[in-house]
Chain A
């Protein structure tokens, strides 16, 4: 059974760094073709892709946030971690992690429940 669960702070102050953890089970990120991604959704707005990490440790970032994002994988803990620096109130959103089982299409078949992060002083 594939599951993903996001965890992290619910409230972050502007200019601080956000660290989000995606803990997954039911699959291995060492399997060829598999990747884990981070996607966010501001309240009432559309989905926005942020970053993903492949089974071979290749990493991809959205261009607009490339300088602020870092994605990493802890194999032993079955976790994918996303850090975002210099937070702004516009970064207030629900942050999701999701799995893609096939690198050719990058469709996300399992999602976490999401973690709402509010950026406010």
Chain B
């Protein structure tokens, strides 16, 4: 099966930049999506097709995907960005949707 690996947690100070990574074999050959999930809420699409911001998502969110690693970058992080973030990809070989294990972002 195809696996996506994320760090369990990341922390950042308000106003700083944070990267959240997602690793998978030849991930750069696939489209990656990123979701934000706050406690008690449904996931919210943040980034699709590696680097496109979903509707209504602030410009401080950006994405990239090269080689084996996709990265979600939050610039000028705000307290309201504190949430769990999940990466997701579509493995056309196995015809499976795959999610990473999620990264809990803490804004200190």
A residues adjacent to B (C-beta < 8 A): 37, 39, 46-49, 52, 60, 62-63, 96, 98, 104-109, 111-114
Known: A46-B100, A107-B48, A111-B42. 11 other contacts (CB 8 A): A37-B97, A46-B86, A46-B99, A47-B88, A49-B99, A96-B42, A105-B49, A108-B35, A108-B43, A112-B42, A113-B42
How many chain B residues sit at the interface, stated as a range, is 20 to 34
B15-46 CB contact bits vs A (8 Å, 1 = yes)? 00000000000000001010101000011110
Interface centre among B37, B43, B49, B54 (most CB of A within 10 A): B43
Interface centre among A39, A105, A113 (most CB of B within 10 A): A105
**Is there contact, CB below 8 Å, between B48 and A105?**
yes
Give the complex CA separation of A39 and B86 in angstroms.
13
Give the complex CA separation of A113 and B86 in angstroms.
17
Instruction: Say what secondary structure dominates the interface of chain A.
Output: loop
Give the complex CA separation of A78 and B42 in angstroms.
21
Give the complex CA separation of A60 and B55 in angstroms.
27
Residues of A within 8 A of B102 (CB): 46-47
A-B contact pairs, 29 of them (CB 8 A): A46-B86, A46-B100, A46-B101, A47-B88, A47-B102, A48-B99, A49-B97, A52-B97, A60-B95, A60-B96, A60-B97, A62-B96, A63-B1, A96-B43, A105-B33, A105-B48, A105-B49, A105-B90, A106-B31, A106-B88, A107-B48, A107-B49, A108-B33, A108-B35, A108-B43, A108-B45, A108-B88, A111-B42, A111-B43
Give B36 Cβ to nearest chain A Cβ, in Å.
12
Residues of B within 8 A of A106 (CB): 31, 33, 88, 90, 97
